[in-house]
């Protein structure tokens, strides 16, 4: 299959809610802010955490202090507080057997994304892990995808982005990449449809067949 497949990490390959939300709440507390209930914060999974923290900070207040506290807790072990979606590893293994190249494309900073991919067994399946930078220069996922395309030199029209949030879809649409929205993550069917996902996928076991059908031009 002459196809390049890009995968989001949080909400697509892994369910990271315990670590991300837990560390986010602790960072708010550390910086003197009230921490909303855990269940109300799952929307922070996917977007840039800078933009998420900014929604809790008064105008002019530095978001960087909260982000630094988050990274302290997350890097101290919170990054491994996650679960693999049932059947996802098997799905990625099947797709890897057919795809020309596969990359992780995540809004998580690369120094956190890489060890997660390695620890949970995904590393042999991907050609490279691409994440954002700690300085925020690649917080826009479309900019991150532009970097991947430029460095890897693949044809965007022969590429697929697999992700669970509107940011994944927007990045794909910006570059003419087919967008598969997965509904087991945190965006949901409505968000993915409204943002223009090319296809939706409801379960990991269906993903290899969907990608094969797209590659063959059957859909």
pLDDT tens track for 112-152? 999 999 999 999 999 999 999 988 888 899 999 999 999 99
Domain at 17-80: CATH architecture: Orthogonal Bundle (1.10)
What does the alpha-carbon distance between residue 82 and residue 80 come to, in Å, rounded to a whole number? 6
Task: Tell me what pLDDT residue 61 has.
Answer: 82
CATH 1.10.150.240 in the chain is located at 17-80
Query: Would you please indicate which residues are annotated as catalytic (active-site) residues?
Result: 8
**Is residue 116 within 8 Å of residue 80, measured between CB atoms?**
yes
Give yes or no for residue 1 having a pLDDT over 70: no
Residue 25: half-sphere exposure toward Cβ, Cα within 13 Å: 16
What does the alpha-carbon distance between residue 196 and residue 131 come to, in Å, rounded to a whole number? 23
Mean per-residue pLDDT, 168-191 = 98
The three-class DSSP label of residue 54 is helix
pLDDT tens track for 198-207? 999 999 999 9
**Is residue 215 within 8 Å of residue 198, measured between CB atoms?**
no
**Is residue 210 within 8 Å of residue 201, measured between CB atoms?**
yes
Write out the two tokens for 69.
Answer: 């506290």
Q: State which CATH number among 3.40.50.970, 3.40.50.261, 3.40.50.1000, 3.40.50.800 fits the domain covering 4-15+84-215.
A: 3.40.50.1000
Identify the weakest region by mean pLDDT among 47-61, 68-82, 156-170.
47-61
Per-residue confidence at 102, pLDDT binned at 50, 70, 90?
very high
Mean per-residue pLDDT, 183-212 = 97
Write out the two tokens for 185.
Answer: 């993550």
User: Counting beta carbons within 10 angstroms of the beta carbon of residue 135, is it exposed (0 to 12), middle (13 to 18) or buried (19 or more)?
Assistant: exposed
pLDDT tens track for 16-68? 999 999 999 999 999 999 999 999 999 999 888 999 999 999 877 899 999 99
| H/E run at residue 199 | strand 199-201
Can you spell out the DSSP letters for 13-46? TEE-HHHHHHHHHHHHHHTT-PPPPGGGGGGGSS
Give yes or no for residue 83 having a pLDDT over 90: yes
CATH 3.40.50.1000 in the chain is located at 4-15+84-215
């Amino acid at each position: 299959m002459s196809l390049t497949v890009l995968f989001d990490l949080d909400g697509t390959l892994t369910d990271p809610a315990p670590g991300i939300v837990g560390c986010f709440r602790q960072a708010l507390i550390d910086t003197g802010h009230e921490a909303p209930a855990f269940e109300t914060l799952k929307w922070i999974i996917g977007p840039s955490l800078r933009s998420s923290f900014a929604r809790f900070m008064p105008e002019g207040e530095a978001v960087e202090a909260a982000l630094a506290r988050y990274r302290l807790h997350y890097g101290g072990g919170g990054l491994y507080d996650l679960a693999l979606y049932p059947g996802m590893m098997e799905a990625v293994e099947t797709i890897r057997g057919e795809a020309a190249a596969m990359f992780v494309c995540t809004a998580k900073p690369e120094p956190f994304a890489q060890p997660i991919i390695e620890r949970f067994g995904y590393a042999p399946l991907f050609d490279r892990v691409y994440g954002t930078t700690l300085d925020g220069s690649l917080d826009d996922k479309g900019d991150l995808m532009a970097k991947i395309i430029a460095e890897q030199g693949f044809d965007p029209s022969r590429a697929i982005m697999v992700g669970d949030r509107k940011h994944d879809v927007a990045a794909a649409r910006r570059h003419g990449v087919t967008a598969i929205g997965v509904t087991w993550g945190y965006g949901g069917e409505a968000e993915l449809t409204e943002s223009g996902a090319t296809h939706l996928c409801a379960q990991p076991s269906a993903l290899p067949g969907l990608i094969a059908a797209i590659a063959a031009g059957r859909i």
